[in-house]
Amino acid sequence: MTGKSQRGEYEITDSIKIQIESGEKILGLRSKNNWIDIGRPWELLEVNEHFLKELETDIQGKVETGANVHGPLFLGKNSIVRSGCYIMGPVYIGENCDIGPNTFLRKYTCLGNNVSVGNAVEIKNSIIMDNTNVNHLTYVGDSIIGSECNIAAGTNIANLRFDNGNVKINVKGDKIDSGRRKMGVVFGDGVKTGINSSFNPGVKVGVNSRIGAGAIISKDLESNKVLIPKQEHEIIDKNE
């Protein structure tokens, strides 16, 4: 029987080793398909890119006059792309989504079902899961956003370091190189950001956490937390 490893997990490599030592026959499968591990969050973006490259246009919803679509687009039932939107495919939009007006969706963006994207939003190479709202004047780059999130107006998610180096992400207490020069954030389900909040590359926010208005986030935030930035104001009498 396979026991837990030093990191507290059941390892398939340990199971295979036990079988070999017991004289069991081990079989492998030869495949011409790509092997992509998805044990870490940023690897979801790699899988998303891989499958969207094969996307074919299928418009089941409505694209209003005045919207521009370039490249493959899947648009689910009862979804609408409003006038002024610019879509650079491949882009996947699920069912019952409301996009725009004047929204820019860039390559490899994947929106789940019941997603609302407001006016003048830009989303690049990101996964936005079901029932999430991305409100007006927001930028989301190379990110994974969970379900039931609310991304408030003016939220900015940075995806590039000042030194152009690979983005590192905290995984179980260790900073791991994601291998990606461009990487935004990973939000759990139910995250809510305040207006004009900003996030540095590689930040993770846990389930059901809240971010106050105007906050600048450079470190991970655990689940079920509320972050409120402290501010100081000086009020000057105009008559003095």
Q: Say if CB 214 and CB 197 are below 8 A apart.
A: yes
Say how far apart CA 86 and CA 122 lie, in whole Å.
10
Determine the 3-state secondary structure of 227 from DSSP: strand
How does pLDDT run across 13-67, given as a tens digit for each residue? 888 888 888 888 888 777 777 777 778 889 999 999 999 999 999 999 999 999 9
Candidates 50, 70, 136, 233; catalytic one: 136
As a whole number, mean pLDDT of residues 106-111 equals 98
Q: Which residue would you say has higher pLDDT here, 1 or 200?
A: 200
The predicted pLDDT at position 118 comes to: 98
Q: Does residue 186 register a pLDDT over 90?
A: yes
For residues 9-28, one letter each, b for 16 or more C-beta atoms within 10 angstroms of the residue's C-beta and e for the rest, the string is eeeeeeeeeeeeeeeeeeee
How does pLDDT run across 216-236, given as a tens digit for each residue? 999 999 999 999 999 888 899
As a whole number, mean pLDDT of residues 152-177 equals 93
Assess whether 136 carries a catalytic annotation: yes
Q: Does residue 8 register a pLDDT over 80?
A: no
As a whole number, mean pLDDT of residues 96-110 equals 98
- Which residues are CB-contacts of 143 (< 8 A; sequence separation ≥ 6)? 126, 127, 157, 159, 183, 184, 185, 186, 187
As a whole number, mean pLDDT of residues 138-142 equals 98
Q: Does residue 126 register a pLDDT over 90?
A: yes
Q: Say if CB 131 and CB 125 are below 8 A apart.
A: no
The predicted pLDDT at position 36 comes to: 73
Q: Does residue 132 register a pLDDT over 80?
A: yes
How does pLDDT run across 169-184, given as a tens digit for each residue? 998 888 999 999 999 9
The predicted pLDDT at position 100 comes to: 96
Indicate the pTM of the whole model.
0.86
- 95: tokens are 């069912």
Say how far apart CA 105 and CA 187 lie, in whole Å.
19
- Which residues are CB-contacts of 226 (< 8 A; sequence separation ≥ 6)? 209, 210, 212
* Domains observed in the chain: 46-227 (2.160.10.10)
